[in-house]
C-alpha cells in the first residue's frame, strides 16, 4: 500500500466520520436560519442565501425571550450546581476508594453502578408527589437533588479511575514529612488530581445539561424549567405557526457550550470516559 | 521518595518496635474512619436519591391514589400491578421498548466498533479531529438531537423526502410520523446517532487492552485482517464489549426523550418510560404510575441479572480492587 493511497483512504474515512457526527447539527443550524415561508421549501439550505436571524431575535429579544432566557438561566444554574455538588462529594469518595483501606469500598462502587443504571422515570413518580407536598416542586433544589442521581455515580467512577493513576508516593512522602493524612491529601494530591476533577466536572455537566425527564416532570413554570423541557413546550408566534424556527435557534444556542467544551477538552473527555468505564 | 523523607524516616527509625506497631494499628483505624468520612456523604446521597424514592414508589403502588381525588386513597394490596399487567398497553409498550433496545444496541455495537477501529488506527494528524467530531453527538442534548432528526424528516419542514424521492416508496408526500415503522425508524436513528459515540469510546478502551504482541504474531503467521479480528481482537476485548452492551441496553431500555419529542407515543410508538410519565405526571394516577415505575425497575434488574448470570458480565471487575 502506497502512502498516497493510504492518505486518500483516510481522507475518505475522515469525511464520512465528520458527516456522520456533524450532519444533524448542520441540519438544525440550517433550519434555525430559515424564515417561516422558507421552512417548507424542502431544501436543506435556507433559500434566501444567508438566511434570516429572525428566529434568534425571537428567542433572545422577542416574544419568546421570557420563556427561553429564563430556561437558559435555570439550565446553567441548576446544571452547574448539580455538577459542583457531585464533583465535591465524588472527589472525597473517590479519594477514599483509590487510596484508603476501609471495609465497604466495594459496596460504595457497586452502589454507584446501581444508581447509574437506575431508570430515571422510576424516581420521578415518588419525587413528583413528595416535592408537591414539601414545596420543592418547581424549584431549583427540586431539580438539583434528583440531578445528583445522574451526576454523582459517574463522577465517582471516573474520579476513582483517575485517582488510581496518581503517584501516591508523594502523599506518603508528605506524611513522612509530618503531614496528617488530611494535609497530605490537600497539599500533595489535590494539585495532581485537579485535571481529573476538571474532566469529571465536564462529563457530569454534559449529563446534567442533557436531562429531560426530571426537567419536564418536576417543573411547571419558568421558575425552574430547564432548556430541554422548555423546548418541548415552545409554541409558535401564533396558534397556526409551528415553532420550528425558534426551537432550532434555541437548540443551536444550547449546543454552543457543548461544542466549545468538546473543542477545548477533547483529549481529557475521551480519557475520562474510557478510563472511568473500563480501566482499573 | 524525596531526600527529606529519607532523612525523616532515619530519625524515626530508633523508636521501639512496639510503639511502631501501636502506631500502625492506630493509623489503620483512623484510615478506616477517614475512609467512611470521605465516602459516606456520597454514599448517603446516592441512597437518598434512589433507594428512598423506589421504596416510596413501592409503598405508593399499594394504594389506589390519585392526586385528582386525594381523599379517596385506599390500600388495595397489589391490585395496581394486576391492572397494569392485565392491560395490553403495558405489553405493547414493553414490546416497543424491547424492539428499540435490541435494534439500536445491535446497530450501535457494529457502528461503534467501526468508529473505535477508525479512532484507534487513525494517522496521528487525524486522531484529534476524529475524536472531537465523535464527541459532538455525545455531548449534544438528546432533545436537540430529536428535533434535528424530526425536522429533517418532517413532512412540512423536512428535506429528506425531497433528497431521496428517487427511492421507491419515498415521495414528498410521505409522512414519516403517521405510521408505526417509519416513525420508529427515525426515533431509533436519532437514538443511535446520539449514543454510538459512547459505545465506541468504551470499545476504544477495550481495543487498547488487546496485547499488541498477539495481533502482531497473528499477522506474522499470515492471518488475514478478518481472521485477526475474529480470532484475536474480539475474543480479547470480550469483557469491554459485554460491559458496553449491558450499559447501552439499560440506557436504551429507559428511552424517553426521542419518543416524547417526535411522536409523544402516537401510532403505537409509546415506550414504557412514556407510559409511566403519562400515568403519573399527566393523569396524576400516582398509585398506578408507581406500580409502572416499580415494574420498570424490576425489568432493569432482570436485564442485569441475565447479563451477569448468563453472560458473565463482570461489572465490578471492570474497576476491581487494585
Q: How far is CA A4 from the centre of its chain?
A: 40
pLDDT in tens, A187-227: 887 788 888 899 999 999 999 999 999 999 999 888 899 99
Interval A147-179: pLDDT, tens? 999 999 989 988 888 888 888 788 788 888 888
Is a pLDDT exceeding 50 seen at residue A80? yes
- Which of A35-49, A139-153, B202-216 is the most confident on average? A139-153
Closest CA–CA distance from residue A217 to any residue of chain B (Å): 6
A151 in contact with chain B, both atoms CB, cutoff 8 A: no
Residue among B4, B36, B42 whose CB faces A156 most closely: B42
Q: Where are the domains of chain B?
A: 87-319
Helices A120-134 and B286-310: angle between axes, nearest 10 degrees: 150
pLDDT of A239: 60
Closest CA to A71 of A202, A205, A198, A232: A232
Return phi, psi of residue B75, to 5°. Answer: -80, 120
DSSP B242-294: HHHHHHHHHHHHT--HHHHHHTTTGGGT--HHHHHHIIIIIS--HHHHHHHHH
pLDDT at B315: 61
Task: Determine the 3-state secondary structure of B3 from DSSP.
Answer: helix
| Cβ count within 10 A of residue A274 | 21
Interface test with B, best of A122, A133, A272 (most B CBs within 10 A): A122
The domain at A54-277 falls in which architecture?
Orthogonal Bundle (1.10)
Quote the pLDDT of residue B2: 37
Pick from B283, B278, B151, B159: nearest CA to A234:
B151
Q: How far is CA A193 from CA A264, B76, B309, in A?
A: 19, 53, 36
CA distance A75 to B70: 32
ipTM of the complex: 0.90
Tens digit of each residue's pLDDT (9 = 90 or more) over A7-29 = 888 889 999 999 999 999 999 99
Joined together, the cell numbers standing for residue B198 give: 459512547
Q: Is A258 within 8 Å of chain B by CB? A: yes
Is A97's pLDDT higher than 50? yes
Q: Would you say B142 and B252 are in contact if contact means Cβ atoms under 8 Å apart?
A: no
Question: Which residue, B244, B25, B243, B260, is CA-closest to A121?
Answer: B260
The segments of chain B whose pLDDT lies below 70 read 1-24, 314-322
d(CA A215, CA A227): 8
Answer whether A216 sits within 8 Å of B281, measured CB to CB: yes
d(CA A185, CA A189): 5
Whole-number pLDDT of residue B320: 39
State the residue for C-alpha cell 436519532.
Answer: B190
B100 and B249 Cβ atoms separated by less than 8 Å: no
Give the pLDDT of residue B319: 45
What is the rounded CA–CA span in Å between residue A160 and residue A15?
A: 36
Q: Answer whether A91's CB lies under 8 Å from B23's CB.
A: no
Q: Tell me whether A260 touches chain B (CB under 8 Å).
A: no
Query: Band of the pLDDT at A279, cuts 50, 70, 90?
Result: very low
Residue of B nearest to A206 (CA): B139
Q: CB contacts < 8 Å between A and B, how many?
A: 341
Question: Which grid cell sits at A247?
Answer: 426551537
How far is it, in rounded angstroms, from Cα A248 to Cα A30?
Answer: 9
Proportion of chain A above pLDDT 70, given as a percent? 94
Q: What percent of chain B has pLDDT above 90?
A: 48
| A261-273 per-residue burial string, b: 16 or more CB within 10 A, e: under 16 | bbeebbebbbbbb
Task: Give domain limits for chain A.
Answer: 54-277
Q: Which fold has domain B87-319?
A: MetI-like fold (1.10.3720)
CA count, 13 A, side-chain hemisphere, A207: 28
The answer for B 225-244 residues in CB contact with A (under 8 A) is 239-240, 243-244
Length of chain B as a residue count = 322
- B102 at A interface, C-beta within 8 A: no
Amino acid at each position: 500500500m502506497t502512502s498516497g493511497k493510504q492518505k486518500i483512504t483516510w481522507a475518505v474515512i475522515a469525511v464520512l466520520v465528520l458527516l456522520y457526527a456533524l450532519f444533524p447539527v448542520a441540519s438544525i443550524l440550517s433550519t434555525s436560519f430559515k424564515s417561516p415561508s422558507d421552512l417548507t421549501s424542502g431544501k436543506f439550505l435556507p433559500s434566501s442565501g444567508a438566511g434570516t436571524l429572525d428566529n434568534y431575535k425571537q428567542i433572545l429579544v422577542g416574544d419568546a425571550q421570557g420563556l427561553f432566557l429564563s430556561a437558559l438561566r435555570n439550565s446553567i444554574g441548576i446544571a452547574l450546581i448539580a455538577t459542583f455538588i457531585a464533583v465535591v462529594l465524588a472527589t472525597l469518595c473517590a479519594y477514599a476508594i483509590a487510596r484508603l483501606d476501609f471495609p465497604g469500598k466495594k459496596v460504595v462502587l457497586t452502589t454507584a453502578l446501581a444508581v447509574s443504571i437506575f431508570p430515571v422515570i422510576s424516581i420521578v413518580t415518588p419525587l413528583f408527589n413528595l416535592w408537591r407536598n414539601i414545596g420543592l416542586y418547581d424549584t431549583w433544589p427540586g431539580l438539583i437533588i434528583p440531578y445528583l442521581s445522574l451526576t454523582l455515580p459517574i463522577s465517582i467512577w471516573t474520579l476513582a479511575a483517575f485517582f488510581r493513576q496518581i503517584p501516591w508516593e508523594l502523599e506518603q512522602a508528605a506524611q513522612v514529612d509530618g503531614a496528617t493524612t488530611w494535609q497530605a491529601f490537600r497539599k500533595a494530591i489535590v494539585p495532581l488530581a485537579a485535571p481529573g476533577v476538571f474532566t469529571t466536572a465536564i462529563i457530569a455537566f454534559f449529563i446534567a445539561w442533557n436531562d429531560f425527564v426530571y426537567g419536564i416532570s418536576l417543573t411547571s413554570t419558568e421558575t425552574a424549567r430547564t432548556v430541554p423541557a422548555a423546548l418541548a413546550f415552545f409554541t409558535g408566534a401564533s396558534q397556526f405557526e409551528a415553532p420550528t424556527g425558534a426551537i432550532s435557534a434555541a437548540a443551536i444556542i444550547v449546543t454552543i457550550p457543548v461544542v466549545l467544551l468538546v473543542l477545548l477538552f477533547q483529549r481529557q473527555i475521551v480519557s475520562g470516559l474510557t478510563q472511568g468505564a473500563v480501566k482499573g | 521518595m524525596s531526600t527529606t523523607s529519607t532523612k525523616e524516616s532515619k530519625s524515626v527509625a530508633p523508636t521501639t518496635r512496639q510503639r511502631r506497631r501501636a502506631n500502625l494499628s492506630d493509623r489503620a483505624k483512623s484510615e478506616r474512619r477517614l475512609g467512611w468520612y470521605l465516602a459516606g456523604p456520597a454514599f448517603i446521597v446516592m441512597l437518598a436519591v434512589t433507594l428512598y424514592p423506589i421504596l416510596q414508589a413501592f409503598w405508593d403502588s399499594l394504594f389506589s391514589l390519585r392526586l385528582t381525588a386525594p381523599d379517596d386513597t385506599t390500600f388495595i394490596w397489589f391490585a395496581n400491578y394486576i391492572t397494569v399487567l392485565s392491560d395490553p398497553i403495558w405489553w405493547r409498550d414493553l414490546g416497543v421498548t424491547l424492539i428499540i433496545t435490541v435494534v439500536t444496541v445491535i446497530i450501535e455495537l457494529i457502528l461503534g466498533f467501526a468508529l473505535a477501529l477508525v479512532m484507534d488506527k487513525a494517522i496521528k494528524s487525524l486522531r484529534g479531529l476524529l475524536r472531537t467530531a465523535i464527541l459532538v453527538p455525545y455531548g449534544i442534548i438528546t432533545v436537540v438531537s430529536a428535533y434535528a432528526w424530526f425536522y429533517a424528516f418532517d413532512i412540512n419542514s423536512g428535506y429528506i423526502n425531497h433528497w431521496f424521492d428517487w427511492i421507491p416508496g419515498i415521495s414528498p408526500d410521505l409522512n414519516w410520523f403517521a405510521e408505526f415503522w417509519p416513525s420508529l425508524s427515525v426515533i431509533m436513528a436519532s437514538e443511535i446517532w446520539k449514543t454510538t459515540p459512547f459505545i465506541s469510546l468504551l470499545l476504544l478502551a477495550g481495543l487498547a487492552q488487546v496485547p499488541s504482541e498477539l495481533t502482531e504474531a497473528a499477522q506474522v503467521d499470515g492471518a488475514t485482517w478478518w481472521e485477526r479480528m475474529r480470532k484475536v481482537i474480539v475474543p480479547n476485548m470480550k469483557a469491554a464489549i459485554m460491559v458496553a452492551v449491558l450499559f447501552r441496553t439499560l440506557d436504551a431500555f429507559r428511552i424517553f426523550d426521542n419518543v416524547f419529542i417526535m411522536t409523544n407515543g402516537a401510532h403505537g410508538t409509546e415506550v414504557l418510560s412514556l407510559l409511566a410519565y403519562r400515568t403519573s405526571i399527566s393523569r396524576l394516577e400516582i398509585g398506578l404510575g408507581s406500580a409502572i415505575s416499580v415494574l420498570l425497575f424490576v425489568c432493569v434488574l432482570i436485564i442485569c441479572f441475565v447479563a451477569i448470570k448468563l453472560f458473565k458480565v463482570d461489572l465490578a471487575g471492570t474497576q476491581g480492587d487494585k
